[in-house]
Amino acid sequence: MSIFIDNDTRLIVQGITGRDGSFHTRQMIEYGTQVVGGVTPGKGGQKFDEKVPIFNTVHDAVKETGANATVIYVPPMFAADAMMEAADAGIPFIVCITEGVPVLDMTKVYPFVKEKGARLLGPNCPGLISPGKSKVGIIPGRICTPGNIGLVSRSGTLTYEVVFQMTRAGMGQTTCVGIGGDPINGTNFIDCLAAFEADPDTESVVMIGEIGGTDEQDAARFVNEKMTKPVVGFIAGQTAPPGRRMGHAGAIISGSAGTAAEKMEAFEENGIGVAKRPIDVVQLLRNN
């Protein structure tokens, strides 16, 4: 099995005619994802690459295609409206790739999406992939292979690196999820860990964190208290200086709780094997 997406995922793409939306739509279709429609206001009635229907609104797209997921590639100024439009149209799973969405916008989006009963992944995330089934977002399909290891990460680039090392070592994945590194996002570590724990095909989990905030510490306690499956981890930013944002908007150390050392200590205290380098994740998995 997998979490969040599978062979039954029927995807629409908001911003399908833009540069990023069009490029990644072709990549998702090539991988085998069921892309059933796209949304670009003013271009309803047209077709993307002569086969994917384009609609003016998400509501129209859902009504005509029965879509149950959407991925958003729109500029930051339009991203909040896009996420709320998708939730209002009844889509249960929303993935927002857009980077640079204002935090103030997310303070409005997050409760709205929750109220509508939808799950949001992102913003500022690479999306997710269930190898051999479906890919939603920008994770390269060629580095993944089907298997029994789940992965959740705050870092897109490190997701690719660790998945590549796992695949090269013959360790396949059930689902690889990039939750994004913004201060407010829709799906966190614990959400993914709980889903992996409930997935009968996932036998172990890799968790990749980074400096800033306390999400990793909260997740470590969850692993200790609620999970029966082994979890290994890596923390990015081990040499980052305090007070400086490193890459993601949420990756800033403010006090000892946000440091890599504190997070690694929390992992170890709660039974999570900690890799010193991304490549070491493979050996930790072999030891479980």
Residues known to be catalytic: 248
Q: What is the DSSP string of 116-133?
A: TT-EEE-SS--EEEETTT
Residues 6+ apart with CB under 8 A from 238: 260, 261, 264
Dihedral of CA 175/181/187/189: which sign? positive
Q: Which amino acid is at 133?
A: K
Query: Residue 142 phi/psi, 5° resolution?
Result: -70, -15
φ and ψ at 215, to 5 degrees? Answer: -60, -40
The CA distance from 273 to 284, in Å, is 7
If you write DSSP's letter for every residue of 171-212 in order, what string do you get?
Answer: --EEEEEE---SSS-SS-HHHHHHHHHH-TT--EEEEEEESS
| Distance, C-alpha 237 to centroid of its chain | 20
